[in-house]
């Protein structure tokens, strides 16, 4: 499912990519600890798809959960954790930029 999601992302079919990443997440959640490392990757991909589709609250929720998973699996200083934290921080900048453009500062 994750490879299919990456394919859809590569052809800019973000809705189909999101559905594939969400399906992969659902499968991995059922596997428990054996798939814990994959959860953060799926959540990060889900956050990215939401961001690309303009759903900032959805992106924020996915990125925040991905950060929590990364910290518990990898620790706070791991490169994967830092990457997801940067994605979450960039989302905040996107929201500020969007609010400024839309006159909602």
Task: Determine the angle formed by the axes of helices 14-31 and 36-52, rounding to 10 degrees.
Answer: 160
Does residue 97 register a pLDDT over 90?
Answer: no
Nearest to 37 by CA among 71, 8, 9, 61: 71
Mean pLDDT across the chain, nearest whole number? Answer: 86
Low-confidence winner among 16-20, 26-30, 83-87, 97-101 (lowest mean pLDDT): 97-101
The pLDDT, as a whole number, for residue 101 is 46
Which homologous superfamily does the CATH classification assign to the domain defined by 2-101?
A: Tetratricopeptide repeat domain (1.25.40.10)
Nearest to 2 by CA among 60, 45, 65, 36: 45
Q: What is the pTM of this model?
A: 0.83
């Amino acid at each position: 499912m994750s490879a299919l999601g990456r394919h859809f992302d590569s052809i800019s079919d973000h809705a189909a990519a999101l559905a594939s990443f969400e399906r992969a997440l659902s499968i991995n959640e059922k596997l428990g600890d054996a798939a814990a490392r994959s959860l953060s990757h799926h959540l990060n991909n889900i956050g990215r798809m939401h961001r690309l589709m303009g759903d900032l609250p959805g992106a924020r929720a996915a990125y925040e959960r991905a950060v929590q998973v990364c910290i518990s699996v990898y620790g706070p200083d791991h490169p994967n954790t830092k990457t997801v934290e940067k994605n979450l921080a960039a989302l905040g900048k996107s929201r500020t930029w969007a609010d400024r453009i839309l006159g909602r500062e």
